[in-house]
Amino acid sequence: MTHAHITSWLIMIILFLIAVSMQRSGAAKAAIVQMVLRLFYIITIITGLLLLHGIASISGLYLLKALAGLWVIGAMEMVLAAVKKGKRAAAGWTQWIIALIVTLFLGLSLPLGFDWF
């Protein structure tokens, strides 16, 4: 399940960057990419919940990581909404970068993740 989760959030990040660039260029298919991105939000959340369910004792750091992951998704939607309206998206980008770093750090440093730190 870990590999499915990692694959889904990697695809989610790639689709997010594609959707932002398509919206900025005014491409007609940007809405389709955004809908596929939202499908990957759901897949990522479901695989994350299944990973949480499989842990025998859930510590507070796993819950913090889950909340940070939801924050990443929320920041993505903030950026996409601002770009679509033609407004500045600096606050959304800042939140997305911070939330992504926190989520990746927690995900890779907790025992269920890889031993990189």
What string of pLDDT tens digits covers the 117 residues of the chain? 888 999 999 999 999 999 999 999 988 899 999 999 999 999 999 999 998 888 877 778 889 999 999 999 999 999 999 999 999 999 999 999 999 999 999 888 877 666 655
Tell me the C-alpha distance between 3 and 16, whole Å: 20
Looking at residue 114, its pLDDT comes to 62
pLDDT of residue 113: 61
Q: pTM for this one?
A: 0.87
Round to the nearest angstrom and report the end-to-end CA distance of the chain.
22
Give the span between the Cα atoms of 50 and 54, in whole angstroms: 6
pLDDT of residue 100: 96
Q: Among candidates 44, 15, 45, 46, which has minimal Cα distance to 32?
A: 15
Q: What is the DSSP letter of 1?
A: -
DSSP 3-state assignment of 115?
Answer: coil
Q: In one letter, which amino acid is 91? A: A
